Amino acid sequence: MNLLALRSHNAALLLDLLRRAGRAGVSRLELAERTGLTPQAVSKITARLREDGLVTEAGRQASTGGKPRTALRLAPEAGHAVGLQLDRDELRAVLVDLTGAVVAERRAALDLGAGAEAVLGAVVSEVRRLTEGLLSAPPPDRGGRDPSPSHSVSPSPSPSTVLGVGVAMPGPLDHTHGVLQRVTGFPEWDGFPLRDALARRLGVPVVLDKDTNAAALGLAVGGEVGAFAYLHLGTGLGAGLVLGGAVHRGTRTGAGEFGHQVIQLDGPPCPCGNRGCVEALCLTAVARGDIDEAARVLGEGAANIVGLLDIDLVLLGGRTVAAEPERFVRGVGAVLDARARREGASSPVPVRIAPGGARAVAEGAAQLLLAPLFGRTHTR
């Protein structure tokens, strides 16, 4: 038995319970009862967590006849993670505490075609500004709206509390080795070791994943259950799949390349080299202002996923969807409704907008670092 792994697993169990308990906290005896660990084991583990600054006392619980118990709670400010979304033309960065709450945010223009040095320089600059408290405004609310200028900026955490950086960007890419494969339209990135290059420059651990996988992870950690697909339509189109409670990446971490399934033989060319891809058809319809047609095409692609994987839910996100959310939900839903009627299904697979707004991908990227700390990797 790997005792180090077991200790880490037990600590993660306790940290997750403490995180969910909130500021009210939970006693050591309750932690033992909920986990099945002995009170002695709980005392030893929580003592180490307190030494590390991750756990603190939350006061005494009301007595039920015996000696009042001391409650413990998670110290959210003890650690932070940076979540980065690198899109083809924009960078969004969030700084979150141990509970996943966003304490700071930055956005900046980005040009993936400018080359590795320029992009890495921009990323490093934004991360340093984010963690050094050089923001001029507080983060927007959970829906992604800009904040009132009258609000003040939360104090910035010490850079020493930053656990690492999660990076999410368009695929395909190799999540395991942190290497880009072929960002559609940007062949110069093929084979670039982005994870290691950023880790060297930032001096902290870096995890790289596709934007859709990061968003799907954030949704699963945030409470979405069952098997679902997150479809992200922005400057491109991709899917994040959660099956059996875990993000499904596939053997070569290439699952979810949804945008490049061909649904029209000899259709319009796509930058990926194929013709008639869902992405090309969707974005072409959007470019000419035909949102209903774009939604119908997206629905046909979603219907293929539903038929192949028998998922429970389709969630939509991305800036293009955010510009016309009701029309996309209605259009995709209509295709899935028609499919359900043809197949005699009792009810169609529901379609709705993914929670999290414009920050869903960046917040999910931060969870690439945080979720394992609480034993909630939701990945395989």
The reported pLDDT for the residue numbered 165 is: 97
pLDDT in tens, 69-86: 899 999 999 999 999 999
pLDDT in tens, 295-346: 999 999 999 999 999 999 999 999 999 999 999 999 999 999 999 999 888 8
Ranges 129-133, 236-240, 289-293: which has the least confidence: 129-133
The reported pLDDT for the residue numbered 139 is: 40
Intrachain domains 3-74 and 223-359 with the same fold = no
The reported pLDDT for the residue numbered 60 is: 79
**Span 108-118, mean pLDDT?**
93
The residue that leads in pLDDT, 31 or 153, is: 31
Among 3.30.420.40, 2.70.70.10, 3.40.50.620, 3.40.50.300, name the CATH number for the domain at 79-216: 3.30.420.40
pLDDT level of residue 183 (50, 70, 90 thresholds): confident
pLDDT level of residue 147 (50, 70, 90 thresholds): very low
pLDDT in tens, 51-69: 989 999 988 776 565 567 8
Among 3.30.420.40, 1.10.490.10, 3.30.2270.10, 3.30.70.100, name the CATH number for the domain at 223-359: 3.30.420.40
pLDDT level of residue 280 (50, 70, 90 thresholds): very high
Q: Which of 134-143, 227-236, 262-271 has the highest mean pLDDT?
A: 227-236
The reported pLDDT for the residue numbered 159 is: 55
pLDDT averaged over every residue in the chain:
87
For 3-74, give the CATH class: mainly alpha
The reported pLDDT for the residue numbered 7 is: 65
SS (H, E, C) the chain: CCHHHHHHHHHHHHHHHHHHHHHHCEEHHHHHHHHCCCHHHHHHHHHHHHHCCCEEEEEECCCCCCCCCEEEEECHHHCEEEEEEECCCEEEEEEEECCCCEEEEEEEECCHHHCHHHHHHHHHHHHHHHHCCCCCCCCCCCCCCCCCCCCCCCCCCCHHHEEEEEEEECCCEECCCCEECCECCEHHHCCCCHHHHHHHHHCCCEEEEEHHHHHHHHHHHCCCCCCEEEEEECCCEEEEEEECCEECCCCCCCCCCHHHCECCCCCCECCCCCECEHHHHHHHHHHCCCHHHHHHHHHHHHHHHHHHHCCCEEEEECHHHHHCHHHHHHHHHHHHHHHHHHHCCCCCCCEEECCCHHHHHHHHHHHHHHHHHCCCCCEC
**Span 194-217, mean pLDDT?**
96
Residue 125 has pLDDT above 50, yes or no: yes
Query: Can you give the residue ranges of every domain in the chain?
Result: 3-74, 79-216, 223-359
The residue that leads in pLDDT, 270 or 215, is: 215
The reported pLDDT for the residue numbered 141 is: 41
pTM of the model: 0.87
pLDDT level of residue 358 (50, 70, 90 thresholds): very high
Ranges 3-7, 66-70, 195-199, 242-246: which has the least confidence: 3-7
**Span 24-49, mean pLDDT?**
94
The reported pLDDT for the residue numbered 251 is: 83
**Proportion of the chain above pLDDT 90, given as a percent:** 71
Residue 5 has pLDDT above 80, yes or no: no
